[in-house]
Chains A and B, each alone.
Chain A
Amino acid sequence: MSNTLQVPTMADMMNEGKTPEVLFWVGCAGSFDDRAKKITKAFVKILNNIGVDFAVLGTEESCTGDPAKRAGNEFLFQMQAATNIEVLNAYEIKKIVTTCPHCFNTLKNEYPALGGNYEVMHHTQFLKQLLDQGRLKIEGGRFKGKRITFHDPCYLGRANDEYEAPRELLRKLDVELVEMKSCKSRGLCCGAGGAQMFKDAEPGNKEVNIHRTEQALDVKPDAIAAGCPFCNTMMTDGIKNKEKQDAIKVYDVVEMIADVEDL
């Protein structure tokens, strides 16, 4: 297994006259945030390993407009959407997978009305599909028997009613899945959504991510699983705030799978 990642771009593919099975939408966090880049790479390693024919937009990708829309800037959102839809439609994209629930939600739910119709999947749904198709095999590994709690991203869970795909993947890792006080449809936000990631919080008596981290610590996990680069940052900061970073790590579900696969 080579260590170099094979990441073809849509432009490359087009030059070769090829059409990939799926477009991997990396997202801004996945492209630029140091922590999130590791999630991106873990996902690509799995795709490379099992030979999924995919491509990325690379420098042709731009923000989906989610933070602009949630901040109230409909105009900027629609400009982003129009630009992206033009690129996606030009490449005749049919299926998109993304490691960011915010990109997932926007592409899936808010692009169709503006002319962008694609089958959009969150990476945990995509991996679950690969698992069901027998293309991906997950067995036990170093998380076997470990207490893991899954933090539901709002834009995967409540916003799109997907609670099972990430949990099913975790169960395949033979972990001891423990649920926090607020989970699934009643899951508590990490505090980053609605463009909060990019601003200071309003005055209060606590940060939302600290509150959520406390809920996670209450179930005494060995590690916290997440499915969103922003949740990951918020939970990691929360754990650091509680000075537990040496004992408890925050992983994306895909990183745990890649780790088990020893990629």
Chain B
Amino acid sequence: MQYIPQIIFLAALGFAVWFFARNVKRLRRNILLGKDIDRTDNKPQRLKKMIRIALGQSKMVTRPIAGFLHILVYVGFVIINIEVLEIIIDGILGTHRIFSFLGPVYSFLIGSFEILALLVLISVIFFWTRRNVSNIMRFKTLKGWPKNDANNILYFEVILMCLFFTMNATDLQLQLNGATNYAEAGVFPVSSFLLPLFEGMTDSTLIIVERAAWWAHILGIFFFLNYLYYSKHLHILLAFPNVYFSNLKAKGQFSHNETVAKEVQMMMDPDADPYAMPEEDENAEPETFGASDVTDLNWFQLLNAYTCTECGRCTSECPANQTGKKLSPRKIMMDTRDRLEEVGKNIDANGQFKDDGNKLLDNYISREELWACTTCNACVEACPIGIDPLSIIMEMRQYLVMEESAAPMELNNAMGNIENNAAPWPYNQQDRLNWVNDN
């Protein structure tokens, strides 16, 4: 009988880990539906960037208020996880506060967890107010699931912190009462203020409250872990690989297409045999230029989509969005993820992808959005964790122009001019030096 709680705990832990692993596998499979791109170079530089930007949160503070609050929650989250480790060990072994042998160190740890938990609670209340009361465009424009999802996470954190304090406060009361199994351990700078709430309760009631809070807290954490995959909150894990694999080159350097390079080289080569057969594999699918669906994108772009936490800093910096155009870099990322999830579910259901008549282009992202981009890189610069919406926009434009010849008319004129007279305007190349003698 005495092992029943441990068995239940192990079952819950096992289920949580199994379910999480199952979704991680799915996530990985979906990301690898993307084309290959080499991001294995410059490992030390990548590591440094990850430490600075993901671990160090250096880009969060560009917006000081949100940045400061976020760092509190982030530090709180990371450090309070030491407490979760203790809870898990206690759960498995059936012990109570196993780390308490650390004495003063333990007191210091528990004391700091409590203070951090309070700071997290305060920050989360600020976050909720910013999302739901303040007039902040990037939050106001979220509707439906993305809005609820963001709020759910905040409610969740409030519940978890409250359970943490309840657990500690009742534990402290039991310690003061000298209850068996509740040896004096830890200092409780925050939850000690909650003691009046539990005044007059018998030890057995207190134990019920303490145990209930302990169980609800850890089961809540297991739930939260598994909520991640269905939420925008995956960034707490994916921000690290995302920054690590992010682009290290100058932002102005757009990737070039190797197939086109070979073709152009052939055309420029006076010795090339125009009748030579291409060496391609006959069964190979003809390569399409650019992207019309998520599988045309590369795995880093798909990782970006799962990493995006929909903060909207990109969209609020976007010149097109600021002037009322339909383009929103955040929506580009959200659409990419939604379509990727749709493709993933399709594969789950059919064994392999079965044409569903949908595409990222037109069904999710409209041409009007794509053509509104000025390629200014403001969205890329704004992202605190290295997401690159611009590269997706560019690949989709490339598809429109190279596969569908569907550029806006004026652009076709400009491109015709470049082709015919080497300038986007209809001036003669022979007149290129006339400016010297102009007045």
Q: Which of A189-216 contact B (CB under 8 A)?
A: 189, 191-208, 210-212
User: A9-B433, A32-B423, A208-B320 in contact; A67/B418 too (CB < 8 A)?
Assistant: yes
> Which B residues touch A212, using CB under 8 A?
319
State which of A62, A72, A105 has its C-beta within 8 Å of the C-beta of B400.
A72
Report B's interface with A, CB cutoff 8 A: 62, 249-254, 256-257, 260-261, 263-265, 267-268, 289-290, 317, 319-320, 322-327, 368, 371-378, 380-382, 394, 397-402, 407-408, 410-411, 413-415, 418-419, 422-425, 427, 429-436, 438
In angstroms, Cα B255 to Cα A156, docked, is 18
Smallest CB–CB gap between A99 and chain B, Å? Answer: 12
Across the A-B interface, the 8 shortest Cβ-Cβ residue pairs: A159-B252, A62-B422, A194-B375, A205-B324, A72-B397, A204-B324, A109-B253, A189-B376
Question: Roughly how many angstroms separate A78 CA and B368 CA in the complex, as a whole number?
Answer: 26
Judge whether B325 and A200 touch: CB under 8 Å: no
User: Which residue of the partner chain B has the closest CB to A31?
Assistant: B432
C-alpha spacing A33/B397, complex, angstroms: 27
Contact present for A63 and B375 (CB under 8 Å):
no
**Cβ of B433 and Cβ of A59 under 8 Å apart?**
yes
Partner pick for B377 among A40, A154, A196, CB 8 A cutoff: A154
Are A78's CB and B261's CB within 8 A? yes
* Interface assignment of A7: CB less than 8 Å from any CB of chain B: yes
In the complex the two chains form, is A198's CB within 8 Å of B256's CB?
no
A56 at interface, CB cutoff 8 A: yes
Q: 9 additional contacts, CB 8 Å, given A7-B433, A79-B264? A: A32-B423, A32-B435, A37-B438, A78-B260, A154-B377, A161-B250, A182-B317, A193-B375, A201-B372
A82–B254 touching, CB < 8 Å = no
A20 on the interface (CB 8 Å rule)? Answer: no
Could you show 27 A-B contacts with beta carbons less than 8 Å apart?
A26-B435, A28-B424, A33-B425, A59-B433, A67-B424, A68-B418, A69-B254, A70-B397, A71-B407, A72-B290, A72-B407, A74-B289, A75-B260, A79-B264, A81-B264, A82-B268, A114-B256, A158-B251, A188-B378, A192-B374, A194-B373, A196-B374, A201-B372, A202-B372, A203-B324, A205-B323, A211-B322
Residues of B within 8 A of A198 (CB): 410-411, 413-414, 424
Q: Which of B263, B324, B374 has the most chain A CB atoms inside 10 A of its CB? A: B374
